Amino acid sequence: MKKIVVLAALILAVLLPVLLLLVFSSTPVVRISPAIVAIGQSTALPVQVSDPHGIRSIAAFIEQNGTRYKAADLSQPARHIFWSHSVPAKTWVLTVGTKATPELKDGKAKLIVEVKSNDFRASTTRVERDIVIATQPPSLSVDADQHYLYLGMADLVTFNATGYWTEAGVHVGDQTFRAWPMPSGKPGQFSLFAFAWNMQPGTIPLVFATNPAGNIVTAQMVFQFPQRDQPKYRVRDLPIDDRFMQKVIHELDPNGSGDPVARFVKINSEMRRANNQTLFNLREKTEAKFLWSQPFLQQHNSKVEANFADVRNYIYQGKKIDQQVHLGYDLSITQHVGVEASNDGRVIYAAPLGIYGNCIVVDHGYGLQTIYGHLSEIAVHEGDTVKRGQIMGKSGETGMAGGDHIHFSMQLDGIQIDPKEWWDAHWIRDHIAKRIDLPGFGS
């Protein structure tokens, strides 16, 4: 019996450290989030760590040209592991860059992060990332063309960006329009940008280029904002009767309840914002090439019933219940007329969309898209290629429409713009085709 007890004690003495090692040891799970691809003079390095026992230290190193430099470190006193077994995940932020490590030079490098666990083994997790050291901003050279800017309308600028950059384009106020490589492999970049209908007239559009190290450069184009020629947007009262109100709330809020006026206003405001956000997000479905080569078409024989950026006061029983801006043209002909594609492109949306009813969106490349709403029928599918003038469905009065018509609008990088200039071959020639290669364009 004594021998058994002694043997058990020996086994326990051998196994206990192993058990303690297993129970009170862990390996840190480490992520660099958001991902770092470039480091400048002083760059925040977020290190996301998950370890039930917490950590003892985090160290960041940068290797360049065969030499390893300690870029930053962080340590804390070891806590008693018997009580540190449910430490929540945490993001630690280190600061790295040439300010703290002046030996680094602009160019390729490797970032190494090592995190040591607060456990018996002091286990270490190592994460590596290829990066670029970038302390200098890129440089810009913008075309010398005169750019005439009008509310609600678009323009095109060309420029050259040199140095290390990863994003470029045009900032107009708080709106950003992407840059694209010049077509046909020519050097340089171009950006189609808009001056939104509600942009402050004194806003200066800025060409920009930036890199992930936080270096940014901006440059102005030559532009004018002709005051006398700016569009004058109309303000119109739109009477709402009970028939139209009931039609809208039954179609767009079928399971709702409560005051009909409140439901109508909620649809007209909150649903409108959500629908326009959906349209804005379609900017990501554009192709990096021109899908069109002719001026855009206005629906044949159509009558304009409402203009771009009309301000509408919704009047019910003599009182104003809401105000919204109509960002498109209402085009009417006859009931259930065939809806024509305004130009060659690819269908990126073909489904109901709230206030727009049955809706089709066609991408024409480089962020330029056309929108067709209130349709009674949709005859195309997402992914279909369409040709200029092709029938894509039939007009109707779905969504927030009081009669049979086509809501036609355009957007550029998600910002809705006035389509009328795109119907004009002369404007396209002066603002697009003479600045970049627009294959097959003819008047």
List domains and CATH numbers for the chain.
26-133 (2.70.50.50), 139-224 (2.60.40), 235-433 (2.70.70.10)
Say whether pLDDT at 228 is over 90. Answer: no
The CB-side HSE value for 64 (13 A sphere, CA atoms) comes to 21
Say whether pLDDT at 371 is over 80. Answer: yes
Confidence label for 84 from pLDDT (cuts 50, 70 and 90)? low
- Please state, rounded to an integer, the average pLDDT across all residues of the chain: 91
pLDDT in tens, 143-199: 999 999 999 999 999 999 999 999 999 999 999 999 999 997 889 999 999 999 999
pLDDT in tens, 325-350: 999 999 998 899 999 999 999 999 99
The pLDDT of 381-410, averaged and rounded, is: 96
Q: How far is the C-alpha of 204 from the C-alpha of 437, rounded, in Å?
A: 27
Say whether pLDDT at 373 is over 70. Answer: yes
